[in-house]
Chain A
């Protein structure tokens, strides 16, 4: 099928957007992003009083979500000493909720056909330098085998918006991933990053047991959004904005949001993410996003906008925005990816991140075809940290973090409202840490290099010692069973 919008593609595009599935969530005909109100808040809360900042930090430490005025106060801090306090508090909040554990995953790009024309994206329709490809089912299986053989247990599968990668294709690829096993290895949780769907199509994905459905708004600023998305389905701001409302309504109770930092003022985007969280919680009984992502714009083939943007986020501001998001939504997972160079990940993970990827390849077919260099004409953007899972795991252990491959919550019925309740009460780490120990042990036994095994056993011992006494006999028993060859034990 042609990448150019031929008649069949245009016909397909006409059937995607359902206006009634946007209007039902509006408030007096308006969406939840009031650009003017946000800009006004940002302007009028400059140079905050340190005492006020400390009150807000105390609220975050109590694991309460911040109000917009409180988040703006943090964003507008200029005093470097106050920023250090913010960073320390953000790290403490993360520890209180999740413990010193980092979940790891890999992205699997399945298709780069796209009907949209996002000016910053290598996949955009009019980028004729991009080599178009979609994995067939056998190729998906081979990619999965390659990922499983590295030790991954969790994937995020990524698709362009095109009739070739419609919901049936997505569902079929997910099923293929779940069915693929290599020795002890398998993928236990598949998350999806794809175009917004209507409620009926979300139900199709729900049926195949997806983990989280992820849609990034890219930019919450209305005018910027319209300028950067001139055509295609993605030009419809509100269709995208309410994508995860529809997903939740369809029964997918783990949803994920994000913004692409570098398109507009980073402080505005942090506010957008907060308002998005608030609106989801309002509509769905307190169940907001399972994770928040904050990718920064990276170079992509034939995308001059990336070099020309005046909103590029410095490393200093990147660390700040991550810390503020952590404090604003203390209980939500936060993902930092291999877009970021290793040094930045080292610096930023401690201020609140809970998940990261490794051994990342984002070219279509890149895991099984193993090309040694990045090929930008097959990729959406450039990766800055291509290190292996083994290297990243070892470094995280050196930093005092245990890498987790846990999928327990979604297998035990601790999803949606249940997950949010435990997390908001600060109790989820009682499950996270034992499961991190168990899944990390599996990784060390099945996949780790000798150096990583040595470092890994030390961090297991350390984290085991920190467990509640009542958990130790259970975890000890499970560890013995894992050493004897059992797998997939969970708490």
Chain B
């Protein structure tokens, strides 16, 4: 297993270096489904990753699938509508819990020990809320698969076989960022998890998030709303124990120890790893190596992430 996680690469600052580091002999399979209708605008990407790279076209394939299988499309839309509703309900509860959490993190006259206990209790509530939500999302997905017979459907199996055949011709897989939910759905539809386990992978931004065991949405300065991080779904579970936060410097108030500490504590024991444009993290066998990557701490710091860190569990 060789997995490289990178931050945003729109101006591709380290993508070429990362690819060289992988020492691949052969073309890459590209996944740019997160770019949606711009999926095939991959000229610049191919100039960096190699002209012989093969875009798997997962976004276009899904559109084709839905056009040919209207029943599947209708079920998919209904599933997505329900997921949006579940996310809204979860957000209402989360916002209330976070308001309580924030109150406890203000200065108090009470003894610090009592405040810390109260804060930890609220954090425990938030963690439970996160897990409940993930469970509901998982059930939604399972029910969709059961109701549609997704994995036995001819229309799906045909596309999966095509994708697999293309991947077989490639030495590795590159997954670009973009819209995380759309990317994740397309990766799942076309059985990409199995492909990803067999090949070296380089993934950035939403691509990195999609491969994790927990996808966290985040923005401390949103145009609307309080900007509390929320869980979306489990990803493809290619690795555990690390939660990527791409472009953290821009999206998060990482100079605010209270905000950083909250993330680190809430998602512990997983490491919260901000991924900027000029760094990456590599997973081989069971070992993480950091190439400039950092991590958040309970104390609210953003410190270098040490290399040679064991991945906490066996790869699923």
A and B are partners in one complex rather than unrelated chains = no
Q: Which residues of A contact B (CB under 8 A)?
A: none
